[in-house]
Chains A and B, each alone.
Chain A
Amino acid sequence: MSINIIFFIIRRIINAFVTLLLLIIIVFIMIHVIAPNPLALARLYTGPHATYSELEQVAKEYGLDKPLYVQIVNYIINVLHGNFGIDPVYKVPVIDLIGKYLPRTLELVIPATILSVIIGLVTGAIAASNRNNPIDYLVRGVYLVTWASPPFFVATILQLVIAYYLRLLPPTGTVNPTLSPPKSITPFPLVNAMITGNWPYFFSLLHHMVLPTVAIALVTFGIITRIARASMLDYMESDFARLSFMKGLSRRRVVYGVVLRNASIPLVTLIALLFGYSVAGAVVIEDVFQYHGMGYFITQAIEGLDYTSILGTTLIVGISIIIANLIADILYGILDPRVRIIE
Chain B
Amino acid sequence: MLKALIRDKAGLFGLIIVLAFLIWSLIQGILEILSVNLRKPYLGYLLLPHNPFKYDLSLAFHPPSQQFLLGTNAEGEDILSRILYALPRDAFVALIVVFSAIIIGGILGILSGYLGGIVDEVIMRITDAFLSLPALILVIAITVPLKATFFATILGLAVVWWPTYARFYRAQTLRIKNMDYISAAKLSEVSKLQLFYRYIFLNSIDPILAYVALDFGNVILTYSTLAFLGIGITPPIPELGEMAANGLSGLPQYWWWAVFPGLTILIIVIGFVLVGDRLQDIIAGRITY
Residues of A within 8 A of B (CB): 18-19, 22-23, 26-27, 30-31, 34-35, 44, 144-145, 147-153, 156-157, 159-160, 164-165, 171, 276-277, 279-280, 283-284, 287-288, 298-299, 301-303, 305-307, 310-311, 313-314, 317-318, 321-322, 325
Contacts and interface: CB of A to CB of B under 8 A. Distances in A.
A311 B229 CA distance: 16
Interface stretch (B18-26, B37-45, B178-186, B243-251): B243-251
B141 A27 contact: yes
B141 A156 contact: no
A24 to B, nearest CB: 9
B273 A164 contact: no
B255 interface: yes
A306 B141 CA distance: 10
A157 B255 CA distance: 9
Interface stretch (B63-71, B81-89, B129-137): B129-137
Contact of A152 (B133, B140, B245): B245
Nearest to A289: B248
Nearest to A277: B134
B133 to A, nearest CB: 5
B252 A149 contact: no
B108 interface: no
B125 interface: yes
17 contacts: A22-B128, A147-B273, A148-B269, A148-B273, A150-B228, A150-B266, A151-B225, A152-B244, A152-B262, A153-B262, A157-B259, A276-B134, A283-B229, A299-B230, A311-B141, A314-B137, A318-B137
A291 B128 CA distance: 32
A150 B262 contact: yes
B126 interface: yes
Given A26-B130, A153-B263, A153-B265, A160 B142 contact: no
A19 B230 CA distance: 30
B229 A298 contact: yes
Interface stretch (B54-62, B143-151, B168-176, B196-204): B143-151
Contact of B133 (A44, A160, A287, A321): A321
Contacts of A306: 144
A301 B126 CA distance: 27
> Looking at A149, A164, A303, A307, which has the most chain B CB atoms within 10 Å of its CB?
A149
Nearest to A156: B258
B98 interface: no
Nearest to A288: B248
Contact of A22 (B125, B148, B244, B274): B125
Given A26-B126, A314-B141, A152 B148 contact: no
Contact of A148 (B148, B217, B230): B217
A148 B133 contact: no
Contacts of A321: 132-134
Contacts of B135: 280
A22 B225 contact: no
B163 to A, nearest CB: 11
Given A153-B263, A283-B137, A159 B251 contact: yes
Given A153-B263, A302-B148, A321-B132, A148 B140 contact: no
Given A148-B273, A149-B262, A35 B132 contact: no
Given A153-B262, A314-B138, A160 B270 contact: no
B231 interface: yes
A317 B137 contact: yes
B238 interface: no
A148 B270 contact: yes
Nearest to B271: A148
A283 B225 CA distance: 10
Nearest to B130: A26
A153 B252 contact: no
Contacts of B93: none
Interface string B104-130: 000000000000000000000110111
Given A22-B128, A284-B229, 17 more contacts: A22-B126, A27-B141, A34-B146, A144-B274, A148-B266, A152-B244, A153-B244, A156-B259, A159-B251, A164-B251, A279-B137, A280-B136, A283-B136, A299-B229, A299-B230, A311-B141, A314-B141
B145 A280 contact: no
Interface in B259-289: 259, 262-263, 265-266, 269-270, 273-274
Contact of A150 (B138, B231, B244, B273): B244
B241 interface: yes
B102 interface: no
A23 B134 CA distance: 13
A148 B221 CA distance: 8
B180 to A, nearest CB: 29
A280 B137 contact: yes
B73 interface: no
Nearest to B231: A302
A159 B130 CA distance: 33
A156 B262 contact: yes
Contacts of B133: 23, 276, 314, 317-318, 321
A302 B229 contact: yes
B164 interface: no
Contacts of B228: 150, 152, 284, 287
A31 B265 contact: no
A139 to B, nearest CB: 14
B72 interface: no
B224 interface: yes
